[in-house]
Amino acid sequence: MKKVMVILNPDSGSGKSVKMEDLLSKKLKKHFEIIDFRISKDIDDVINFASIAAETNYDSIVVSGGDGTINSVVQGIYDKEHRPKIAIIPSGTGNLLSKHLGIPQIRREAINRYDFEHSKKIDIGLCNDKCFCLFVSMGSIPEAIHDASGEDKSKFGMLTYFKESIERLRKDKYYRLKIETDDGNYEGEVDHFLVSISNKIGYVEFTRQNSSMDSGYANVLILKKKDIFSRLSGAGSAIAGELDKNSNVEHFLASKLHVESLEGEEETDIDGDKGPSLPIDIQILKQRVEFYLPASYF
Residue by residue, pLDDT tens for the chain (298 residues) are: 899 999 997 765 444 555 678 899 999 999 999 999 999 999 999 999 999 999 999 999 999 999 999 999 999 999 999 999 999 999 887 898 999 899 999 999 999 999 999 999 999 999 999 999 999 999 865 555 545 545 444 444 444 444 444 455 445 678 899 999 999 999 999 988 999 999 887 667 778 888 899 999 999 989 886 554 455 455 555 545 555 566 678 899 999 999 999 988 899 999 988 899 999 999 999 999 999 999 776 6
Give the active site residue among 44, 183, 273, 281.
Answer: 273
Domains of the chain: 3-117 (3.40.50.10330), 132-284 (2.60.200.40)
Residue 11 annotated as catalytic: no
pTM for the whole thing?
A: 0.85
Interacting residues of 238 by C-beta distance below 8 A, sequence separation 6+: 204, 205, 206
